[in-house]
Structure 1
Amino acid sequence: AATGSPVRWLVDHRLLVRVAGGKGGTAGMVELPREVGLLLRRDTGPLGPLRTSPPAVASTPREPKAADSAGAGQTMEVVRHTEALLEQLAAEPAPVLRSGGLGVRDLRRLARTAGLDEPTAALLLEVAYAAGLTGEVELPGAAGRYGADQQVMPTAGYEMWRAGSLAQRWEQVARAWLTMTRQVGLVGQRDDRDRPITVLSAEAERAGAPAARRAVLGVLADLEPGSAPTADEVLTLLDWRAPRRSRGREAAHREVLTEAASLGVTGLGALTSYGRLLLAEATASEDRDADDPLGLRADADEGTGTAVRALDALLPAPVDHFLVQADLTVVVPGPPEPALAAELEVVAEPESAGGASVHRITTASVRRALDAGYSADDLHDLFRRRSRTPVPQGLTYLVDDVARKHGGLRVGSAGAYLRSDDEALLAEVLADRRVEALALRRLAPTVLVTPYQAGRMLAVLREAGFAPVAEDATGSAVLSRPKARRAPARVSVATRALDPLATPRLPLPRLLGVVEQIRRGDAAARAARRAPAAVRGGTPDGPTPATGHSEALAVLQQAVRDKALVWVGYVDAHGATASRLVRPVSLGAGYLRAEDERTEMLHTFALHRITAAVLER
């Protein structure tokens, strides 16, 4: 039967022929005729030149060690920039838009603060979210700048991520990039409804993104170590391997090469040695998950992966010391250990980052350390223990001066206070166990404070037998009298009945207006009695009027054209039926606009409420 399949089309056009016989396994099989096959294999045939071997890479190969060194340096930058972005999110969380994702302004703010371009910042934010380092937090009742009730900020896993080594932190980020179903290159483009695609929005989801990354990295992994093909050569190799699968996805494959270089998976255009190991581990992990989807078999080789160990050998060893200069700058000659990095974050201000980072000790940083719980002796001990150079005398003086002034003023909060010139009375109140719930604390011989409000303090003290008096901010006593609630004043019925002059008199213009309304009501009643029976809801006398909705619309259209009077029966908003003699003016948009002949007023009737329409005879 004609199924519309490509095989059926080829058979119908004699490009495929049935296999003779039809017994056993050959039933329903087709084969390609020899003449057609020879034509297709020609270089001038419809398929063009066919290559039996993959296209050669003409680009100059890189030294594997140089590629690994360049990639390792990029991994350090990736970890540093990711940490800077997440620290900015911790200081000022980004609100989630109503349509999902982060706003363009927040992306620009984060990129500008971290010193990155917007595409790189979007990539690191997407990868950090996929790695579980950031997440949304519900904020009920607290709307953001865009009316959102969610904010993106670092998760608890971010603290564990910071405690790991550089290689472990990079491996977690790179593995999330390999497996996430997000195409970061779509950020900034327009979707089908011409709306911008933002970071972390649902429009950037692409189920084929992991397969595209593995395909591109697989091409690089199959080449010799140090091979650095261009993007066009990689696309040619992908087209040779799977023509139908790779066509139409050239832009996504180019984005994979750019992202791999930004994340340090490739160096100088070549796949690094640890990147090759990471790809092999990710593929083996997927195969293991496919064989054991429930995770019943324990993984025997859990722990640090080979990619982490290979990258650790390329990165400089972490240091646990620094060099203090005479100008109060601190030089860290290498990547700091997690403990040293945490201490420097508190006691110093960062100035530059890289292989050797530079920090500066200032008055504000020393004050921040004292606020965090350090004492002057703790800071002196920290600099003596961590510094490989003698501690400058200026740093010692700076710590002592700031510590001497620190805490001279205390700031706190209190709900209410209790004061008295009688110190013995305040001592009695403070010692009374009946008022222990107030958690009173003595600030001065004549002043006590409590975290609770003044109303509760008054109630508890009065229940305990004391006689406190409330006072305002100026120290004046607050008088408290019961407020009597009264209804609005009314005139007695007897007074209105006995005093005829008490009846209010209407002004003459208002009285004439009331009479006019009464006359119009009488005229409307008489007109309603003269209305046709179909409009009133009864049986009409004589010819049958237009009672159907479509017939009523036809009568109204004729009345609009002829400018004739017509009786309209309709149902008002309260469900009561009424009739009115009007002259239609316009009919459209579901409404009838007509002029009442008696009142000379313009009325609007909803067409779905009109029940009948009869021309005035």
Structure 2
Amino acid sequence: MSGTLALASALAEMDRDTLAALVRSRRPHAPAGITDPIGLASDLLKTESIARALAPLDRASLAAVRDPTGADAALVSELSGMGLLGRDGGSAVSLPEVAAALSDALDAAHVVIDSLSSDPFPGDISSDVDTSAWFTSALTAVGQAAECLRTLRDRPGKLNRSGSIAVATVKQLAESTGVEPDEVSLALAALMRAGLVTALIDDHLLITAAASSAWLHSSHVERWLSLAHAAGCSMPSTLRTEWNRADEAEIDLRALAAGVPTRYPLLPATDLTAVDDFVRGAEYLGLTVEGRFTEVADALLVGEVVTSEIARAMPETATGVYVQPDLSVVVPGPLPPKDEAVLAALARPEHIGVASTRRISEASIAEAYERGLSPATAREAFTRISLTGIPQPLEYLLDSLGERVGGIVVGEYASDEGRTRLSFARADVAATISVDRALQHLQLQRSRASDTVLYSRLSADHVLAALADARYHASSQVAALRDAEPAEPAEPAEVGALQAGATASEAAGATASRRAGAGDGPTAPFDALVERVFTAARSEPGTGDFTRRLELAIRDRSPVRVTAEARGEVRTFTLLPVSVNAGRLRAADQAAGVERTLPVNMITAVEPA
């Protein structure tokens, strides 16, 4: 027996908001072809649609789907709103198609159907853990995320064909930032949730999003808040439900997650993975400590504003750094964004945490110069932020590299003399390079007009790479031109949103909304479907069970027994309905070999033939 009629009756009784929520959650396969409750019911009773709807339900809900008799009224109403229960005579009833799909799914999951009413969830989900040091993980995560962003800004990552982040990208970021690969993966996941990195699926690239610059210009408190807010919004619905149910004040997230596979026996493997990923991500960001939610996390999850509480818990901005004679840099705490950016350009990270360490080297200073940072700017930065002054080894490094870097500019050149032109600030450096055996393959030729110009028949990129290998710090013509430009990029519009109190993720959302523009969105076909079904359920003659029975018979091309009464005379016909229109039924009476037309308001019963 089909449950189409019972589900159609339930759909016909729904208000517009409930119907719209149902359609958005179930997302019918062909919305354009659905015009009435019968059509929607037929689509919702397809096996694939039922399986998707059953998957996230807990044991109590699954038991109520199988038999709603005696179930909690609120739960029955919820399941009816999901299209998993029908209506018959004013009562909720199970649907044969749903019951069959449930039985098959439970068999596949090796769950005994009679055990659904039991509650296997662990009783103790509270823990006694000191969470006061949560900011340690929080600041470490923020620092690692910032390093990953800066690296991706200069060198986009690679994606697999499936759209996932390539292992090579994680390894490259780990090598560049000094962060363990597992933590790089967690940092990238946090950045992705906050809308700070973007996956270009067609190009197989992972790049920084427009909002990333605003995030890097914000304070450490604002940075963490945006990552934590995005993580809270991504909490899997199963975990959110269990968190809401728990009465304990000190909830252990790991205990909640451990009970999910048993309480939600049909949950897909991808959803179980999402639960595990959230647990790991929450611990990484400092939302939990040894599994237990912090007070700040609890407040965030209920939507409270906790900026002041975060600021009180986290250390204040450090006044400077300690530059050691061995060229290591001790960063005792979070720095102002401007100082952090210039230090990140001049020194490579070795350890990132509440207190971090970095390393200055000839390569790091040279790379900063080649990217457009001037020697004067580097010296001024160290003078301003170093609490120990500029030690003699750093003084020497700044002076020696300052003389060499910027003194060799390589650019493309099209003439008989060569493809690449090398311009030198000093003639003696040009003379040295022209006879350097390590560079003989460049076939350098002197210019007749100047002793500070050399030419090569190889490409500019090849020349730059060869000079770097021979430890000559050259810059390209484009990089040299950057010396005249401001080192600090102009702040994007999202910075204004952050200064007005919005998080970076909210600013990213605003940017995405602006880009989306006007026009029909992906929900437009479903909105139109809701209007058609809602109107059909309340229009004449489509409001009664008789009409829906006839519409179902028309759809299934099945005969029915129709009883009609007129002037006190009652007659019953076995008919094959053809259409119901303008309050009249048109049907074929195959026994009599004629077509009959009956007013719907005269029909007193419609039963299967």
TM-score exceeds 0.5: no
| Bigger RCO of structures 1 and 2 (CA < 8 A, at least 6 apart) | 2
Larger Rg, first or second structure (1 or 2): 1
Q: Which has the higher helix share?
A: 2
TM bracket (short chain): 0.3 to 0.5
TM-score, structure 1 as length reference: 0.44
TM-score, structure 2 as length reference: 0.45
